[in-house]
């Protein structure tokens, strides 16, 4: 019998494709963002500790060579530090070759942690935190009900940096529609410059039926960006970025044009490439709308 029990839909970052996924929590404790439908069907809760412990022990017997683990669901980092330390300890015991554990986090989770607690988790191989920032524009963060201001996000991210855990930040291209595009691009660049993350992932907005954002579009309150406007918004953000050594990826299935760069080294060539695409505007250069995915 398969030893792992999964509940609801399972989401993970593309870079965790080879990781063993264990659900430490179910759903998202925030679950209010206006564009998101990921965990709408799940009521947030922590997994039963004994059940999770049994799963980790069985997985350790079956796959003792596991090197990477992703702790799902939407924000396992919301658990108390003491509980997370217990889980990390169990993972280290079950998988002697463990190299890295990764989690998703909300900005609010980071504000509940201190850097000493985060450093203790790092010592037990918490090696990547994926933080959905979505935007650095204060007005847009309020609008999408992210539950945190740019200042709070920067403060929480600062604790992760202080603890020495790599941070991968996600921003959503097109999230402000036509109306707020420039403010979204500039505000996001400003916040990212302050955080100076190791990784930056750019998703492109998908408008999901049933979400508040979808309703706003239907009511004419938000005008979605077309593919070329999306690229212009990326260009504006990249133009204002000044990061020390950030790996930038916009190669998610939702993106119209796959982009990859190390920003400290390739920023100018990335801007030149975007200018070239925006000048030609050849439709074949972009992913077809029907082939974009979440």
Contacts with ligand SF4 by CB under 6 A lie at 28, 30-33, 36, 38-39, 74, 106, 132
Q: Which is nearer to ligand SF4, 67 or 145 (CB)?
A: 145
What's the rounded Cα separation, in Å, for the pair 156 and 161?
9
Q: Which is nearer to ligand SF4, 28 or 141 (CB)?
A: 28
Is 68 in contact with 102 (CB distance < 8 Å)? yes
Q: Which is nearer to ligand SF4, 56 or 141 (CB)?
A: 141
Shortest spacing between CB 175 and ligand SF4, in angstroms: 11
Q: Which is nearer to ligand SF4, 71 or 98 (CB)?
A: 71
Q: Which is nearer to ligand SF4, 106 or 173 (CB)?
A: 106
What's the rounded Cα separation, in Å, for the pair 88 and 109?
17
Nearest alpha-carbon partner for 171 in 222, 121, 243, 118: 243
Shortest spacing between CB 249 and ligand SF4, in angstroms: 18
Q: Which is nearer to ligand SF4, 32 or 265 (CB)?
A: 32
The per-residue b/e assignment along 32-47, b for 16 or more CB within 10 angstroms, e otherwise, is ebbbbbbbeebebebb
Is 262 in contact with 246 (CB distance < 8 Å)? yes
Q: How far is CA 99 from the centre of its chain?
A: 21
Tokens for 90, please give them: 């169990």
Is 277 in contact with 227 (CB distance < 8 Å)? no
Tokens for 290, please give them: 């029907």
Shortest spacing between CB 269 and ligand SF4, in angstroms: 32
Shortest spacing between CB 32 and ligand SF4, in angstroms: 6
Q: How far is CA 213 from CA 17, 148, 190, 216, in A?
A: 29, 18, 24, 5
Shortest spacing between CB 169 and ligand SF4, in angstroms: 13
Q: How far is CA 97 from CA 70, 89, 101, 110, 129, in A?
A: 15, 13, 12, 28, 20
CB within 8 Å of 205: residues ≥ 6 apart: 35, 172, 173, 174, 175, 224, 225, 254
Shortest spacing between CB 291 and ligand SF4, in angstroms: 23
Q: Which is nearer to ligand SF4, 98 or 167 (CB)?
A: 167
Shortest spacing between CB 129 and ligand SF4, in angstroms: 13
Shortest spacing between CB 195 and ligand SF4, in angstroms: 17
Q: Which is nearer to ligand SF4, 66 or 173 (CB)?
A: 173
């Amino acid at each position: 019998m398969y030893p792992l029990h999964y509940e609801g839909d399972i989401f993970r970052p593309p870079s965790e494709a080879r990781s063993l996924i264990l659900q430490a929590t179910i759903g998202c404790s925030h679950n209010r963002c206006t564009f998101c439908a990921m965990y709408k069907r799940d009521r947030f809760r922590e997994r039963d500790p004994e059940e999770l412990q049994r799963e980790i022990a069985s997985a350790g017997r079956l796959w003792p060579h596991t090197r990477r683990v992703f702790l799902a669901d939407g924000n396992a980092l919301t658990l108390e530090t003491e509980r997370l330390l217990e889980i990390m300890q169990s993972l280290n015991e079950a998988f002697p070759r463990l190299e890295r554990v990764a989690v998703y986090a909300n900005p609010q989770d980071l504000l509940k942690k201190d850097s000493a607690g985060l450093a203790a988790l790092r010592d037990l191989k918490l090696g990547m935190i994926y933080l959905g920032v979505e935007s650095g524009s204060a007005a847009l963060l309020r609008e999408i009900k992210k539950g945190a201001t740019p200042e709070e996000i920067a403060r929480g991210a600062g604790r992760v940096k202080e603890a020495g855990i790599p941070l991968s930040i996600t921003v959503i291209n097109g999230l402000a529609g036509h109306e707020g595009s420039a403010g979204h691009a500039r505000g996001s660049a400003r916040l990212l410059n302050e955080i100076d993350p190791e990784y930056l992932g750019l998703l492109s907005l998908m408008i999901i039926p049933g979400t508040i954002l979808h309703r706003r579009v239907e009511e004419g309150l938000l005008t979605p960006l077309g593919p070329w406007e999306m690229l212009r918004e990326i260009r504006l953000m990249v133009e204002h970025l000044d990061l020390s050594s950030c790996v930038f990826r916009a190669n998610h299935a939702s993106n119209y044009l796959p982009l990859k760069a190390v920003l400290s080294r390739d920023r100018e060539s990335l801007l030149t490439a975007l200018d070239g695409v925006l000048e030609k505007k050849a439709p074949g250069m972009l992913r077809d709308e029907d082939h974009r995915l979440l």
